[in-house]
A and B are shown apart, each in its own frame.
Chain A
């Protein structure tokens, strides 16, 4: 069905053009340049680029256990963060949709707060909470639960906590919007037909929430995979994630072709995650 436009095609084109040109020139072109750059090399000891085709950057990533290790750490860390975000966000999103009436908008506003505050400021608060002399260790010690401080900074535990805190909103928002489309009494209906709450969730609610689960998981996984501010601060240089490796190469070593190759590897895994998500959604569409 073709809709009739309210303004002339030429006017439409003129209105859209500035934004489109900017987005293409400043956002899309650099990604294309990144592909090319990853097959170039840096002239040693200078900022000049040598545009002869080489696979050396990729060979270096595959052959060096430092980079492979960083990649592996980042992948499973992102998977763990995604899973934990899902576990935390499911009850929260369901509760906000079902029970938060007048406070709903405000609660969603609070949920997006970590997103608009940026990665840095909440992480500063976390450094304080997690440090050996910080609030959490202090509270646990005064309750007599632990004698020596738990190490929560400079390790995977700290980085995971930071990433979950930063990216939980990315899971909550899609889950809220899918939950809003599920009629409120489905859970009760299933339970009145003899299902326990667990069965009602597993057989009725979770399948209906799956589009939101897939979307949220993709967002959190991709954000964690490419995060570097949070891992950099909470990992204190001891947790090497892939994005911080790329950042070091680009900002400190100034080896841009190699940084580009590291970026390409990240894009590859994001694309794989996206394909996996699409397959899961499509499999669902067919089975239901």
Chain B
């Protein structure tokens, strides 16, 4: 009896915690379908008008566009560099592997806001403050550690004997990589691309310091207008779309390649 009561209490605590964790995200999504002129919850009248406004509004569109392009470019560079490095560390087994992992994963543990302050002053001295290359460089730096961690785990899982076997059967090194290693590493590659893109797309901390006036991403735009304009329903509609997209990526990633195990 007490044990059953204990179990029920535990389950209640678990459900309450999950609800607390996800409530703000649910609120954001549900409110977006409200027709009201202010951000309110619970929604009262179902409507898609704020989605239409969001998609027709050129200023919102351009900030979303900037976020997407920046996210895509940074993801490709970060996952590319991370995969090369992870492959080198796993297959080359150098004596400096541990030290190199500490270096490559450093942004996961050190405070990005402090780093961004330093980067901002360096960029200002170099005159690349507020430029796209500077911004891409910063985003590659914050997304690469996530990709590196996933790719190291992915290559560690691949049996090197498979590559050796292909080689002994006469495959060239390039054929081994293309026909054996890459297909086996695909779940890891897709996971790191998904995570890297989401991290870049949703970043506020670093971008708001580095971006300058020319390259205002959607999160930065929302953050900087919050004081003056508050939260308008259009922002909520776009926020809801981004969150829905994020959930979709995570659920799909979970289904297809067990994303959460790799995070």
Contact = CB atoms under 8 A, between A and B. Distances in A.
B24 A19 contact: no
A26 B106 CA distance: 12
Contact of A229 (B124, B223, B251): B223
Contacts of A55: none
A123 to B, nearest CB: 7
A225 B159 CA distance: 42
Interface in B108-137: 109-122, 124-125, 137
A15 interface: yes
Report the interface size class on chain A.
Answer: 35 or more
A64 interface: no
Contact of A19 (B81, B94, B110): B81
Given A27-B106, A165-B24, A243-B113, A91 B13 contact: yes
Interface string A224-253: 011011001100010000010011001100
B166 interface: no
Contacts of A66: none
Residue of A113, A125, A256, A260 with most chain B CB atoms under a 10 A cut-off: A125
B156 interface: no
A88 B117 contact: no
A22 interface: yes
B231 A91 contact: no
A83 interface: no
Contacts of B178: none
A114 B206 CA distance: 18
Contacts of A91: 10, 13-14, 17
Given A30-B119, A267-B111, A95 B106 contact: no
B117 A135 contact: no
Interface stretch (B38-46, B50-58, B182-190): B38-46
Given A92-B14, A113-B247, A19 B124 contact: no
Contacts of B179: none
Contacts of A71: none
Given A19-B82, A37-B121, A117 B246 contact: yes
B48 to A, nearest CB: 19
Contacts of B260: 105-106, 108-109, 111-112
Interface string B56-76: 000000000000000000000
Given A15-B88, A113-B22, A226 B111 contact: yes
Residue of B100, B114, B258 with most chain A CB atoms under a 10 A cut-off: B114
Contacts of A197: 6
Contacts of A4: 93
A33 B122 contact: yes
A145 interface: no
Residue of B84, B112, B258 with most chain A CB atoms under a 10 A cut-off: B84
10 contacts: A18-B81, A19-B85, A27-B107, A49-B121, A96-B14, A105-B260, A110-B21, A121-B239, A128-B41, A259-B117
Given A18-B85, A112-B263, A124-B239, 12 more contacts: A13-B88, A15-B88, A23-B106, A24-B103, A34-B114, A88-B17, A96-B14, A124-B235, A129-B27, A135-B27, A246-B117, A250-B121
Interface of B: 6, 10-11, 13-14, 17-18, 20-28, 31, 39-42, 81-82, 84-85, 87-89, 91-94, 100, 103-104, 106-107, 109-122, 124-125, 137-138, 140-141, 144, 148, 160, 163-164, 195, 198-199, 201-205, 208-209, 219, 222-223, 226-227, 231, 235-236, 239, 242-243, 246-247, 250-251, 253-254, 258-261, 263
